[in-house]
Structure formats: C-alpha cells, structure tokens
Chain A
Amino acid sequence: MMQFTDWDILRNLLFAARWTLLLSLFAFIGGGLVGLALTFIRSIKNPFLTKLVQIYVELFQGIPLLMQLFLTFFGLSLIGLDVDAWSAAILSLTLFSSAFLHDIWRSCIEALPKGQWEACRTLGLTHVQSMRHVIFPQAIKMAIAPTVGFSVQIVKGTALASIIGFVELTKAGTMLNNATFQPFKVFALVALLYFVICFPLSVLARYLENKNYVRR
C-alpha cells in the first residue's frame, strides 16, 4: 500500500483547488452574463417578460443546486446531448448564480430613486441610453459589495460538482480520505483551503459595504 505523508495530502489538495478556482471563475462569468441579460430584460418592464424572468428566478432559487446538477448531468444525456461532468457543473452553476446575481442587481436598480428614470425620459434618452449612462453607473456602485459577497456562495457551490464526479477540492478530499483513512485531517485541510479562498472575499465584501455605507 502506498503511504501518504501530510505533504502528499496537502499537495494533492492544492492541485485540486485549481479546479475549484477555475470552476468558480467560469460559473461567475457565465452567471454574470446571463444575470446581466435577465436584469436588462426585466428593466424593460414588459409584464410578460417580467413574469418569465420571475419564474426563472423562482425556479433556480427554489430547487436545490444538487438537484439542478443531477438534472443537467443525467437529464441532458437522455435527450441525446452528451454532457461530461465539467460542462454539467458549469451549466448548472451558471444557471444557479445567474438567478441570484440577477436578484441582487435588480434590487440595486430598484433602490435608485424613481426620479432618475423620469429625468432620463425628460431629456429624451432612449431606454438603452438611460440604462447605460444614468442607471448603470449608479447601480454598479451599490452592487459591487453584495456581488463579491455572493462569489463566496459560488465557490462553496462548486463543492457539489464533486458528487457528479468532477475532481475538484471536495472530490480530492473524499478520494484522499478513502486512500489514507484519516478523515479528520483530510477534511479539516479541505475546509481550511476553502476558508483560505472564501474568507478574503468575505472580508473584501464587508469592507466595500462599509465604505459605500459611509459615503452615502
């Protein structure tokens, strides 16, 4: 039997942590783009489109992420699309984070005084113009802190990709646990690595929140 030193365990976990980071990054970018599109669609204030976006958000916030992963991983292969663990994880994490990011950004836009929209209309700006030059620059300031805060949820969400067989930090942890029979040490180290990734983001989010709060 192969022996694992503590350094072997840590090194393997560090290698696997790359995939956690990469997956988080992809999910954040994907979720951000879809969330942005949803936010724009909703800002048009067409009742039908608004309802659609609301249903979308309700759906992806009300179904466990694990279930979304299973549905994309097992479900899409049934209709003939061959999905590997990597694409299934990215797809479901994108859908999941887009729903939450959209919700965050929508509330930032709605927090702006109504007069801003009215002023834009008075100036004869089109919807896109007022979004781009008036609403967006103001909303983005408010949105940064909660968005950074939510990125912690995405990093933690990637841990579930281990269940469909994607080898990231959590999966590496369970594999090392099976090989070394040292669950206490292995999972404590895994938790520590997640903490090292997430805690700076949490601190940054809190810092931005306070800064913004004081300024207003």
Chain B
Amino acid sequence: MSYNLDFYGLVPYLPQFVAGVGTTIQLTVISTVLGLILGTYCAAGRISKARWLNWICAVYIEVTRNTPFIIQLFFIFFGLPALGIKLSAWQAGMIAMVFNLGAYSAEIIRAGIEATAIGQWEAAKTLGLTHRQIFMHVILPPAYQRVYPALVSQCIIVMLGSAVVSQISVEELTFAANFVQSRSFLSFESYMLTALIYLFLAILMRQLFSLLKKFIFKSSAV
C-alpha cells in the first residue's frame, strides 16, 4: 500500500519533457492562428446568402463538433493515405487540430456576428462601403471583441486536446510522458509532472490572451 514518489528519477529525462513542451507549443500556436482564420471564413460562409456555401460550412461544422477528436485524427492519419494523400504524423496532427478549432470557433464567431445590430450593416451600406469592407471593418472587430473570452477558452481546449496526437506518435508532451514512463517505470511521477505542465500551459495561455486583449482591442466598441 505504501509507495514512495521519486521525482528525482525524472531528472535525466528533462530534455525529453522540454522537447515535448516545445512541440506542444508549436502545434498550439500554428493551429490557433490557422484555426481562427478558418473559423472566421466559415462563420462568413454560414451567414452568406449563397445556399451551397452555407450548406457546406454547416456540414463541416456539425460533423466536426459531433465526432471525437481522436476519430478525426485517425481518419486523417490512417484514412486519407488510402485515397493517396500521404501525411506525416505532425502534418496529420496539425490538420486535425486546425479543422477542430475551425469548426468550434466558426460557431462562436457567428454568434458574435449575429449579435451585431442590423443598423450597423445599414449604416455602412449608406456610407457606400462594399460588402467585403463592411464585413472586415464594421462587423468583425466588435464581433471578435464580444466573443473573445469564448474564443480563448476554445483555444485552450484545443491545446489540451493536442495530448491526443501522441496516439499517432507526434512527439509532443504526452508522447514524452509515455516515453519516459516506459523507460523509467516512474509512471505516476511522469504523468503527474506532465499534468502539472499542461495546467501551467493552460494558465499561461489565459494570461497571454488577456495581455493580448489590450493590444487587439484598443477601443471599447461593444
């Protein structure tokens, strides 16, 4: 019943953990940027009057939101090569993360857009702005500002979800944890340390986003 925790045993494996954290951060940063861009386009597609575009975006969003991330990952990594599309594990993991965040953020951004008063559209149209200009300069900035907290939470969820890409052997933090525990047999210690690192990353991300908020939204337009 007694078990002595031995965290010192993990010291020789610190380089693995550091490398794993690096990959996790890299995956998170790239997928956050690309995922939010994809999400914005999809949100635009969902409110567009083109029937077919609306439909495609809706199907993509619903399918992604109603299937587990790990299945999306397996489908991209194992399934697509059957169609002749060959991907490395890193690429497959990245694509899965981008598509996942894209679908969730599209719904969040759309909620922000739909909360915009219709008068904003009309006023901008009266000023002679094109549809694209209205969307980019009048509608989007306050929409982002309105749903910013929800977007931040979603980005953090995607960062935590990246743990799953270890299952296709992307060498990120969870992969490092699995590697270390199989070498050192210190499974509880290595998972405990990894859990703490994730917790730290999640808190760090929230802090960074709240700092970033001051730079992005200089005026309080909402």
Contact = CB atoms under 8 A, between A and B. Distances in A.
Main SS of the interface on chain A? Answer: helix
A64 B82 contact: no
Contacts of B63: 191, 195
B78 interface: yes
Interface stretch (B37-45, B64-72, B137-145): B64-72
B66 A195 contact: yes
Interface in B77-91: 78-83
A74 interface: yes
Instruction: Determine which residue in B62, B65, B70, B161 has the highest number of CB atoms from chain A within 10 A of its CB, and name it.
Output: B70
A10 interface: no
A160 B73 CA distance: 12
B71 A184 contact: no
A35 interface: no
Contacts of B66: 152, 194-195, 198-199, 202
B203 interface: yes
B192 interface: yes
A67 B174 contact: yes
A173 B198 contact: no
A2 interface: no
B193 to A, nearest CB: 10
Contacts of A65: 160, 163
A25 interface: no
Interface size for chain B: under 10, 10 to 19, 20 to 34, or 35 or more residues?
A: 35 or more
Interface stretch (A75-83, A105-113, A124-132): A75-83
Contacts of A183: 74-75, 78-79, 81-82
B194 interface: yes
Contacts of B181: 74
B163 A64 contact: yes
A63 B160 contact: yes
B40 to A, nearest CB: 22
Contact of B199 (A63, A66, A177, A199): A63
B52 interface: no
B160 A64 contact: yes
B164 interface: yes
Given A159-B71, A187-B74, A64 B174 contact: yes
A125 to B, nearest CB: 34
12 contacts: A62-B203, A64-B198, A67-B198, A70-B177, A70-B191, A71-B191, A78-B188, A159-B70, A183-B79, A184-B78, A190-B71, A195-B67
Given A157-B68, A191-B72, 12 more contacts: A62-B202, A63-B199, A64-B160, A67-B177, A79-B1, A159-B70, A163-B167, A183-B79, A184-B79, A195-B63, A199-B62, A202-B66
